[in-house]
Amino acid sequence: MCNIQNRYDFVYLFDCKDGNPNGDPDAANAPRIDPQDMHGMVSDVCLKRKVRNFALLAKGGVAPYDIFVRQGSVLNETIQKAHDDLGHEVDTKTKKYSREQVGSARAGMCQRYYDVRTFGAVMSTGANAGQVRGPVQISFSRSLDPILPLDISITRMAVTEAKDADTPNQTMGRKNLIPYGLYRCHGFISANLAAETGFSEGDLALFWQALQQMFDNDRSASRGLMAPQKLVAFKHASALGNAPAHKLFERVNVARKADVPVARSFADYLVTVNKDNLPAGVEILDLL
C-alpha cells in the first residue's frame, strides 16, 4: 500500500465526566492541570498509548501492525530480534553493528511495527536500530474551561489479612477525578516523514479509526466516561502543505454556551467550523 501523499492537520475534541483522564504520578495521580489557569491537561503519550492499544486489538498484534511499545515488552530484546532476523552479526573489532546493518534493522522495525512508523521511536538503547521520527505528532490536550480536581475518600469493607478479620475499622483509600472537562488536541501528519517510515493510507485509516473508537476499548472505573466528540482534519493537496496549521486551527471554534454557567456535558458547548474562503489546496474532512 502506498505511502500517504498529503499533509494533514487535525483538531480532536474529547471529554471526561466523573473520572481522571490522565493522572500525574508526581502528584499522587491527581488530574494534570496548568497551575496558572487551572485548565486540565492530557499528555500526548496518554493518547498515543490508547492508539497503540486499539491497533493491537484491531489487528491482533501481527506484522505489519505489531506494536513495539506494549505492556510487558522488553524493548532491547525486540530491537535485538530485528538484527537476528536479518542475520546481522556485530563487528568483532568495534563490537557494533555497521551503519548499513543499523539502517536495515531500522527499516525492518518500521515495516513490522505500526507505532514505530506512526509515532517514531528511539531504538538505540541496546542493539542499535537507529531512531525514527514519526509522521504523526500530537500536542498536549488542554481543557476548554478550568477544571476542578476532586480528591475523594473511599472505603473497603474487606480486609487484606486474616488477623484483621475481626477489626471493625474499614480500609480507607483515595480517588481522584474531575466532574467534567472537554479537551482540545491538535495533531499533525507529515507526508514527508511518512515517506521515510512507510506510513501508508491504510495506516492513516487505522489512526482515524483509533481516535474514534479507542475510548470504548479503554474503560476503567478511574477514567469515568470518556468519549471522542469531534474530529476535524485539514487535508492539504501537497506533501508540504498549502496553509499554516495554526491558521487552519483557528477555523474550529469551541465555546461554552452563554446560558451555561458551568459545563457538565458536551451539549453545553457550541462547536463551529468555518469552511468559508478556504486556502487553495486545503480540504476540510469532518471525520466525527
CA distances from 157 to 152, 170, 177, 221 (A): 17, 6, 22, 18
Residue 167 pLDDT exceeds 80: no
- b/e for 149-169, b at 16 or more Cβ within 10 A? beeeeeeeeeeeeeeeeeeee
Helix axes 99-112, 75-85, angle to 10 degrees: 110
Direct distance between the N- and C-terminal alpha carbons of the chain, in angstroms, rounded to an integer: 25
What pLDDT is stored for residue 72 in this prediction?
87
pLDDT in tens, 216-227: 999 998 888 999
What pLDDT is stored for residue 172 in this prediction?
73
Q: Which helix (H) or strand (E) holds 245?
A: helix 245-249
How many whole angstroms separate alpha carbon 174 and alpha carbon 33?
19
pLDDT in tens, 13-70: 999 999 999 999 998 899 999 999 999 999 999 999 999 999 999 999 999 999 999 9
Residue 269 pLDDT exceeds 70: yes
And the C-alpha cell for 167?
477489626
How many whole angstroms separate alpha carbon 206 and alpha carbon 202?
6
| Mean pLDDT, range 228-238, rounded to an integer | 98
**Does residue 215 or residue 175 have the better pLDDT?**
215
Confidence grade of residue 168 (pLDDT, cut at 50, 70, 90): low
How many whole angstroms separate alpha carbon 244 and alpha carbon 46?
26
Question: Which residues pair with residue 66 across a beta bridge?
Answer: 113
Strand residues in the chain grouped as ranges (E): 8-19, 23-24, 30-31, 39-42, 120-122, 131-133, 136-138, 141-146, 150-156, 171-189, 225-236, 252-256, 269-273, 282-286
3-state secondary structure (DSSP) of residue 108 = helix
3-state secondary structure (DSSP) of residue 133 = strand
And the C-alpha cell for 265?
456535558
